[in-house]
């Protein structure tokens, strides 16, 4: 292959990977592989002096593809040049001082404030054109809606989701293949939602890292002063440390040791000159600003031997390959397994049992296989499902090969489907665990969801099963009886309609005024008029309800459950209000019960007090708790449970 064709091939692969990652939220190659390929292309461009059209080394970001409004940035947003050499940072600083901070791994956002209010929020997009997400930004956990400064303020920052919130969201998703791969992908999809309610539920946070303009404010020619000023305006700013050429290497080490305790996802560090005037004098290159540089962690790589591939089936039929290898120590932890993602990646690595592979942790967190040194390619793709023994098929979608079990009766599909059906946010059958479901399916007691509400026909068999008894049986039947009485949005969420989670189920139910018949038969056109439901979601929805097998299963289910279709058009009288609940409750069984009441009236409920909080609910109004203090500082009203009850009963919030 000649050099030009080699470059064209690298460009094609890199662009496909970038599109999958940034636009479609998929991962078709590891970060290590992408960076390696990118560096090889860049080296070829330097050697030949030739840069081909479409080269990712010349393009900032990827093309914006969504239904959100577009807006051109006043000035092109450039990416940063990067290094993995700590000493190079000291050389780059020279006799200047700089600010060293986390390079947060989320989505870059530009916020504009006018007359003290948040006026506009735009994503970075492709660097030239971004997406307007103002309504979504107003739901971010820590973005101030109003600030003391009354001039025009423009700042840049990163929207991120903490590891803790990421894990909570993933824990609520029972099926393996539906779980989010990393916080960055989840954040990107959350920020760019058409329904801001979904964004609010994802608990997105914003950390400012750059002040673009702030009228005539004097910052004494110091970026650090800008950051301090932004903190004073109510913004959370990215954690940073002031450094010079003599301290920067040591400070990089300090950041490295803090990675495990950092609650925010990051993929390196950023070093920028503190001197604003000096920075401006440097100008920019075609792609990079000259006043800042990114530091990427040099991956700790370990060699080990691949022992087996574990194939894990899910409720959709997707069978995921996981590499099992001899244990190695990486970044202070023992690692023995890593996802291989799909067959395409396995083929690219020419993976085989007994191969010597190099393993690393992407961003020091997620185990990945970087390279296969022996490339035996001796791996046999299973022709039968590891769970049911049924036939498998390789699906090729947009160049990515994945393995599927095609047996509709596969227990793995049923187990995962049933687990999803009985989940807390779905039909909420308390106590029916995945292990219990597996046993009941194996005995032939559960074949369709409707069977959950007919388990009393098998009392003697269930009581005699391992792990069950009279008490367990009674609790199980009581839980099923309670779940039999449900609401349209819970049933919709439980069915496993592609792309329909708790938030979308509630939105669709509300649009159909809680009529289950309307929800089943709503047209494609009507679906697309509902906020947050696009072409893909609508098509998947109709495809699900038009499927004859699904229709029969739903009809059977409707014969054994009772749906409360009560709907009051004025029930959203709390729309636009955000509540925070703290302390003990007297009139509600738990906080979830109160949250359900508030959300049913259109309100949002947050876990922390911020400038966007409307009311703090606390029966001890005069307490000195942290949330009470914060509410008082921000001038947010504190109300007790009795007051909220009166609002719920009257259908009116009395301010």
pLDDT confidence of 531, banded at 50, 70, 90? Answer: low
pLDDT confidence of 114, banded at 50, 70, 90? Answer: very high
Q: How far apart are CA 252 and CA 247, in angstroms?
A: 9
The shares of helix, strand and coil residues in the chain, as percent rounded to the nearest 5, are 35, 20, 40
* Model confidence pLDDT, tens digit, residues 483-493: 999 999 999 99
**Residue entry with tokens 């289910």:** 557
Which has the closest alpha carbon to 382: 306, 310, 305? 310
What was the pLDDT predicted at 67? 66
**What DSSP letter does each residue of 496-554 carry, written as one string?**
T-TT--HHHHHHHHHHTTT-HHHHHH--HHHHHTSTT--HHHHHHHHHHHH-HHHHHHH
* Model confidence pLDDT, tens digit, residues 222-263: 999 999 999 988 899 999 999 999 999 999 999 988 887 888
Q: How far apart are CA 101 and CA 272, in angstroms?
A: 9
What was the pLDDT predicted at 152? 93
**Residue entry with tokens 């738990």:** 590
Q: What is the mean pLDDT of residues 113-125?
A: 91
Sequence-ordered list of residues with C-beta below 8 angstroms from that of 654, at least 6 positions apart, any chain:
646, 647
- Interior CA angle at 191 toward 186 and 197, to 5°? 100
Q: What is the mean pLDDT of residues 446-473?
A: 86
pLDDT confidence of 338, banded at 50, 70, 90? Answer: confident
What was the pLDDT predicted at 72? 87
What was the pLDDT predicted at 126? 80
Active site residues: 103
Q: Could you give the C-alpha distances from 65 to 126, 431, 547, in angstroms and in order?
A: 10, 43, 30
What was the pLDDT predicted at 121? 94
Q: What is the mean pLDDT of residues 4-25?
A: 74
How many CB atoms are closer than 10 A to CB 552? 11
- Interior CA angle at 241 toward 100 and 214, to 5°? 80
**Range with the lowest mean pLDDT among 211-215, 258-262, 270-274?**
258-262
If one compares 454 and 434, the residue with the highest pLDDT of the two is 454
In the three-class reduction of DSSP (H, G, I as helix; E, B as strand; rest coil), residue 92 is classed as helix
Contact status, residue 297 vs residue 88, Cβ threshold 8 Å: no
* Model confidence pLDDT, tens digit, residues 1-13: 577 778 878 888 8
Residue 542 has pLDDT above 80, yes or no: yes
Residue 322's Cα: distance from chain center in Å? 22
What was the pLDDT predicted at 175? 53
Residue 112 has pLDDT above 50, yes or no: yes
Of all helices (H) and strands (E), which one includes residue 248?
Answer: helix 248-257
Residue 192 has pLDDT above 90, yes or no: no
Calculate what percentage of the chain has a pLDDT beyond 90: 31
Residue 23 has pLDDT above 80, yes or no: no
Residue 130 has pLDDT above 50, yes or no: yes
Residue 59 has pLDDT above 60, yes or no: no
Q: Which of 48-62, 228-242, 355-369, 417-431 has the highest mean pLDDT?
A: 228-242
Q: What is the mean pLDDT of residues 621-647?
A: 86
* Phi, psi dihedrals of residue 340, rounded to the nearest 5°: -100, 0
Contact status, residue 176 vs residue 320, Cβ threshold 8 Å: yes
Burial of 562 (0-12, 13-18, 19+ CB in 10 A): exposed
If one compares 372 and 126, the residue with the highest pLDDT of the two is 372
Of all helices (H) and strands (E), which one includes residue 637?
Answer: none
Q: What is the largest CA-CA distance in the chain?
A: 83
How many CB atoms are closer than 10 A to CB 306? 25
pLDDT confidence of 510, banded at 50, 70, 90? Answer: confident
pLDDT confidence of 365, banded at 50, 70, 90? Answer: low
Residue 469 has pLDDT above 90, yes or no: no
**Range with the lowest mean pLDDT among 174-183, 248-257, 348-357, 636-645?**
174-183
Q: How far apart are CA 93 and CA 99, in angstroms?
A: 10
Which has the closest alpha carbon to 308: 348, 340, 347? 340
* Model confidence pLDDT, tens digit, residues 314-332: 667 788 888 999 988 776 6
* Model confidence pLDDT, tens digit, residues 575-620: 788 899 988 777 776 777 788 778 778 788 887 788 889 999 998 8
Calculate what percentage of the chain has a pLDDT beyond 70: 91
What was the pLDDT predicted at 223? 95
What was the pLDDT predicted at 548? 92
Residue-averaged pLDDT of the chain: 84
pLDDT confidence of 414, banded at 50, 70, 90? Answer: confident
In the three-class reduction of DSSP (H, G, I as helix; E, B as strand; rest coil), residue 268 is classed as strand
């Amino acid at each position: 292959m000649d050099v030009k064709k080699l470059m064209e091939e690298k460009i094609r692969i890199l662009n496909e990977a970038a599109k999958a990652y940034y636009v479609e939220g998929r991962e078709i190659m590891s970060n290590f592989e992408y960076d390696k390929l990118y560096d090889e292309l860049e080296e070829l461009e330097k050697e030949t002096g030739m840069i081909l059209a479409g080269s990712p080394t010349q393009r900032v970001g990827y093309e914006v593809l969504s239904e959100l409004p577009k807006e051109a940035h006043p000035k092109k947003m450039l990416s940063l040049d990067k290094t993995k050499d700590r000493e190079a940072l000291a050389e780059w600083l020279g006799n200047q001082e700089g600010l060293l901070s986390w390079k947060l791994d989320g989505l870059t956002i530009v916020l504009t404030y006018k007359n003290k209010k948040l006026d506009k929020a735009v994503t970075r997009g492709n660097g030239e054109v971004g997406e307007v997400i103002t309504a979504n930004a107003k739901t971010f956990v820590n973005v101030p809606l109003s600030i003391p400064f009354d001039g025009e303020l423009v700042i840049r920052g990163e929207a991120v989701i903490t590891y803790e919130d990421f894990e909570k969201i993933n824990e609520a998703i029972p099926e393996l293949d539906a779980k989010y791969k990393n916080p960055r992908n989840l954040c990107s999809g959350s920020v760019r939602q058409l329904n801001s309610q979904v964004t609010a539920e994802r608990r997105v946070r914003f950390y400012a890292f750059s002040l673009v303009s702030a009228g005539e404010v004097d910052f004494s020619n110091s970026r650090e002063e800008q950051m301090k000023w932004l903190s004073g305006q109510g913004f959370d700013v990215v954690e940073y440390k002031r450094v010079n050429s003599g301290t920067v290497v040591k400070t990089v080490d300090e950041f490295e040791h803090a990675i495990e305790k950092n609650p925010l996802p990051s993929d390196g560090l950023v070093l920028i000159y503190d001197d604003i005037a000096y920075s401006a004098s440097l100008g920019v290159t075609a792609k990079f600003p000259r006043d800042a540089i990114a530091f990427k962690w040099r991956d700790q790589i370990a060699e080990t031997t691949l022992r087996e591939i574990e194939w894990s089936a899910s409720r959709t039929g997707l069978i995921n390959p996981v590499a099992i290898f001899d244990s190695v120590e990486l970044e202070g932890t023992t690692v023995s397994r890593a996802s291989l993602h799909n067959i395409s990646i396995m083929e690219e690595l020419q993976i085989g049992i007994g191969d010597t592979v190099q393993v690393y942790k992407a961003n020091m967190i997620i185990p990945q296989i970087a390279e296969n040194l022996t490339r035996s390619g001796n791996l046999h793709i299973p022709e039968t499902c590891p769970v049911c023994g049924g036939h498998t098929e390789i699906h090729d979608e947009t160049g990515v090969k994945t393995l599927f079990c095609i047996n509709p009766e596969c227990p793995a599909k049923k187990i995962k489907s049933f687990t999803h059906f009985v989940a807390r946010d779905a039909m909420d059958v308390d106590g029916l665990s995945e292990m219990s479901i597996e046993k009941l399916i194996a005995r032939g007691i559960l074949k369709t969801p409707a069977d959950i509400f007919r388990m009393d026909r098998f009392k003697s068999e269930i009581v005699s099963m391992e792990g069950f008894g009279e008490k367990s049986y009674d609790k199980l039947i009581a839980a099923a009886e309670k779940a039999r009485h449900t609401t349209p949005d819970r049933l919709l969420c439980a069915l496993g309609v592609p792309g329909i989670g708790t938030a979308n189920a509630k939105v669709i139910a509300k649009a159909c005024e809680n009529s289950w018949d309307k929800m089943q038969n709503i047209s494609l056109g009507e679906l697309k008029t509902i906020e947050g439901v696009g072409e893909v979601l609508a098509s998947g929805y109709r495809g699900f309800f038009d499927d004859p097998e699904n229709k029969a299963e739903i009809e059977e289910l409707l014969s054994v459950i009772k749906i409360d279709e009560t709907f009051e058009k004025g029930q959203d009288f709390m729309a636009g209000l955000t509540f925070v609940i703290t302390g003990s409750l007297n009139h509600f069984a738990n906080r979830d019960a109160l949250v359900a009441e508030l959300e049913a009236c259109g309100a949002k409920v947050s876990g922390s007090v911020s400038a966007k909080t409307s009311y703090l609910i606390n029966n001890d109004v005069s307490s000195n708790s942290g949330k009470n203090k914060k509410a008082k500082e921000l001038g947010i009203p504190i109300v007790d449970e009795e007051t909220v009850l009166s609002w719920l009963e009257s259908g009116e919030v009395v301010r």
